[in-house]
C-alpha cells in the first residue's frame, strides 16, 4: 500500500487506515526529518441515504501520535451554510455528531472541517448526503370553491438528486383528524426512475391526470364537492422507513334562506361556509359588489360560517382572506322581485278573494232558489191531492 520515490524522497501510502497514523522518520545521511501523520475516518449512518425529517449520525474517528490534539469540528451543508451539530459523545479518538432533521433541499455534498491549533490541523472531509422527500411546504393548505376543478400535487425530488434505488408510496384521505383513512392510490418508482400509479378507490370521484410534471404525484377533482374536503396524505416508503406530506383541502360554499327573488320590504339571509377550520390569520367576508362599507361583514377568528341579513338585491361576494390576500371568492346573485310583480300578486289576491266571495254568494242564492222551488212543488202536490180527494167525495154522493 506504499511506494517510496528516492528521487524526491517521497512516500506515498494508499487506502489509509487508522493504524497508519504515527510519526514517520526520513533519514538521509546525517539528516533526519520527522513527520506526524494524523488519520481521520468519517462514517455516515444509513450510508448517507436518508428520508426527509430523519436525523443523521456522523462518527468521526482519528488516530494521531501522542499527545492527541483537541479538535474542533465544523459542518457545512450543500448550500455552504454552517450547521451546528449536537455532539453526543466526545472522546479523544471518537466524536459522534447528531444533526437536526433533514430537509429535501439538504441533498448534495457536505464538508466536515477539522481544526486543531496544536498541532496545527486544517482538514476538509467531503461526504455525500442524499435526502429523498417532497418539495412541498411543510404545512400546505389549498382552498377551493364548490364545483370548481382542483388538482392536488406532491412534488418528489428523486430525479433531482439522482436517486438510483426503487421506492413505493401511497395516497390516503381522511375528512377529519380522528376519522378513518381511505386508501386512494398506490405508486412505485423503479431504480430507473419510471413512475407507475394504481387507483385503489372506485367510490371517490377523482382522476389521475395523464399529463403532469415529472416526479409528481397528482389527483384531480373535475367538480369538487363540499365533502371532498379534509387531509390528503402522500407517503413514501423506503426500506421500511416512511415519510409523508399533507395537503389540507378546504372547500367553500354559499347559499340563501329563503331561496328565490327578494320581495319588497323583505329580508334574506346569505350564508357562506367553509368545510374545515381556518388558521388564525384567515377569515371570511361578505360584501355587496356595488355597496358601501356598511355592506361589509367579516367573520370572527376561527369562525367557519358567516351569515349576513340583506334587504338589497344584486351581486354579493364571499371572500376567504388570509393575511390580507384573497385566496378564493364565491358570487351569489340575489334577484329582486319587480314592482309590477308585487301589484300583480296583490291584484290576484284581491281578485281571488272577490271571486271566492262571488262564488259563495252564488251558492247561497242558488240554495235559496232551490229551496223555494222545492217548497212550491210540495204545495202544488198537496193541492192536487186535495182536489183529488174532493172529487172522490162528490162521486160518492
Q: Is the pLDDT of residue 230 over 50?
A: yes
Note whether 268 and 284 are within 8 A (CB).
no
Q: What is the mean pLDDT of residues 122-128?
A: 95
CB 50 within 8 A of CB 132: yes
Average pLDDT, the chain: 86
pLDDT, average across residues 40-66 = 94
pLDDT at residue 343 above 80? no
Residue 354 grid coordinates: 272577490
Q: Which residues pair with 236 in a beta bridge?
A: 169, 243
Percent of the chain past pLDDT 90, that is, above it, reads: 57
DSSP line for 12-71: EE-S--GGG-EEEEEEETTEEEEEEE-EEEEEEGGGGEEETT---EEEEEEE-SSSPP--
Higher pLDDT, 374 or 396: 374
Place of cell 472531509: 125
What local confidence, expressed as pLDDT, does residue 390 receive?
Answer: 62
Asked whether residue 381 carries a pLDDT value surpassing 80, the answer given is: no
User: What is the C-alpha to C-alpha distance for residues 315 and 219, in angstroms, rounded to an integer?
Assistant: 33
* Dihedral sign (CA 347, 352, 355, 360): negative
Distance CA 311, CA 166 (A): 63
pLDDT at 24: 86
For residue 26, what are the CA distances in angstroms to 11, 23, 38, 125, 392? 9, 10, 17, 27, 177
Residues sharing a CB contact under 8 Å with residue 88, sequence separation 6 or more, in sequence order: 57, 96, 97, 98
Residue 247, pLDDT > 70, answer yes
Residue pLDDT, tens place only, 255-268: 999 988 888 778 89
- Over range 99-103, report the average pLDDT: 94
| Three-class secondary structure assignment of 306-361 | EEEEECCCEEEEEEEEECCEEEEEEEEEECECCHHHHHHHHHHHHHHHHHHHHHHH
pLDDT number for residue 234: 96
| Whole-model pTM over 0.85 | no
Q: Is it the case that residue 251 has pLDDT exceeding 60?
A: yes
Cα dihedral 355, 361, 365, 368, rounded to 10, equals 140
d(CA 368, CA 354): 21
CB hemisphere CA count around 38 (13 angstroms) = 22
Q: Per-residue pLDDT for 51 more than 80?
A: yes
Helices (H), 117-168: none
- Which residue ranges form the domains of the chain, and what is each CATH number? 2-131 (2.60.40.10), 140-249 (2.60.40.10), 258-334 (2.60.40.10)
pLDDT digits (tens, 9 = 90+) for 362-374: 767 776 776 777 7
The per-residue pLDDT for 339 is 46
Summarize pLDDT for 266-306 with one digit per residue, the tens: 889 999 999 989 999 999 999 998 877 778 999 999 999 99
Amino acid at each position: 500500500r506504499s511506494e517510496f520515490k528516492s528521487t524526491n524522497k517521497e512516500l506515498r501510502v494508499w487506502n489509509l487506515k487508522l493504524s497508519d497514523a504515527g510519526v514517520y522518520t526520513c533519514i538521509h545521511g546525517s539528516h533526519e526529518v520527522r513527520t506526524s501523520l494524523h488519520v481521520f475516518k468519517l462514517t455516515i449512518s444509513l450510508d448517507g441515504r436518508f428520508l426527509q425529517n430523519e436525523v443523521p449520525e456522523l462518527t468521526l474517528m482519528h488516530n494521531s501520535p501522542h499527545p492527541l490534539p483537541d479538535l474542533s469540528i465544523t459542518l457545512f451543508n450543500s448550500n455552504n451554510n454552517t450547521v451546528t451539530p449536537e455532539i453526543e459523545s466526545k472522546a479523544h479518538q471518537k466524536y459522534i455528531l447528531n444533526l437536526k432533521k433533514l430537509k429535501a433541499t439538504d441533498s448534495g455534498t457536505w464538508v466536515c472541517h477539522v481544526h486543531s491549533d496544536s498541532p496545527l490541523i486544517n482538514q476538509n472531509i467531503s461526504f455525500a448526503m442524499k435526502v429523498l422527500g417532497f418539495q412541498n411546504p411543510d404545512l400546505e393548505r389549498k382552498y377551493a370553491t364548490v364545483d370548481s376543478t382542483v388538482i392536488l400535487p406532491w412534488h418528489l425530488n428523486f430525479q433531482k438528486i439522482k436517486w438510483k434505488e426503487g421506492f413505493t408510496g401511497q395516497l390516503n384521505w381522511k375528512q377529519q383528524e380522528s376519522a378513518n383513512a381511505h386508501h386512494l392510490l398506490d405508486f412505485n418508482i423503479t431504480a430507473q426512475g419510471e413512475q407507475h400509479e394504481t387507483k385503489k378507490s372506485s367510490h371517490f370521484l377523482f382522476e389521475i391526470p395523464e399529463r403532469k410534471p415529472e416526479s409528481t404525484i397528482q389527483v384531480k377533482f373535475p367538480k369538487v364537492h363540499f365533502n371532498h374536503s379534509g387531509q390528503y396524505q402522500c407517503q413514501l416508503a423506503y426500506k421500511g422507513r416512511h415519510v409523508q406530506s399533507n395537503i389540507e383541502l378546504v372547500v367553500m360554499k354559499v347559499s340563501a334562506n329563503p331561496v328565490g327573488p327578494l320581495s319588497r320590504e323583505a329580508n334574506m339571509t346569505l350564508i357562506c361556509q367553509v368545510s374545515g377550520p381556518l388558521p388564525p390569520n384567515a377569515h371570511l367576508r361578505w360584501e355587496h359588489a356595488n355597496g358601501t362599507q356598511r355592506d361589509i361583514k367579516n367573520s370572527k377568528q376561527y369562525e367557519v360560517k358567516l351569515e349576513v341579513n340583506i334587504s338589497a338585491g344584486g351581486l354579493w361576494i364571499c371572500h376567504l382572506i388570509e393575511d390580507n390576500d384573497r385566496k378564493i371568492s364565491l358570487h351569489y346573485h340575489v334577484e329582486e322581485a319587480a314592482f309590477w310583480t308585487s301589484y300583480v300578486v296583490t291584484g290576484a289576491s284581491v281578485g281571488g278573494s272577490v271571486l271566492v266571495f262571488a262564488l259563495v254568494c252564488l251558492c247561497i242564492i242558488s240554495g235559496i232558489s232551490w229551496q223555494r222551488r222545492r217548497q212550491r212543488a210540495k204545495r202544488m202536490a198537496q193541492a192536487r191531492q186535495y182536489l183529488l180527494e174532493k172529487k172522490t167525495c162528490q162521486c160518492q154522493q
